[in-house]
Amino acid sequence: MKLIEIPKWGNYLREQWRGIFANHLSKVEQKSIYMDSFLWHLCSWEKVFCLEKEKAIEAFESQLKNKCTIFYQNTDEAYLVQHAKNLKINDLPFEENHMYYSDIYVMDWNNGWTFVMTHETESGIGPYFIQKP
């Protein structure tokens, strides 16, 4: 597994994520569920079919992963993971209760799936896994 920092890609990847996983909602609908604050509201407001909690983790860890991106809700830091076959939840650069690193998104390079951990995972919100049909 090779982790490559891709500085300043955060905003680009957040917009990509929104366009891929929330494109069935209008901008007004996205605003109504506060996606400008947290993209993962797409899942917590049940606006997309997703797996939650342990099922989300199992789905993420069982995916055939070649290359994926990792980015955050509140910072423009991002990473490209190459040879990601063995990427597991414990490998993610996630810091619970940290202002910048506690809402993390992992997105398949081919846009087929995403895995999301929230800053509220301890409270039972997330993680989430979305698979594109």
Q: What is the pLDDT of residues 59-108, one digit of tens each?
A: 999 999 999 999 999 999 999 999 999 999 888 866 655 555 678 999 99
CB 71 within 8 A of CB 105: yes
pTM of the full predicted structure? 0.92
User: Which pLDDT value is given to residue 106?
Assistant: 96
Residue 39 predicted with pLDDT over 70? yes
CA distance 123 to 48: 21
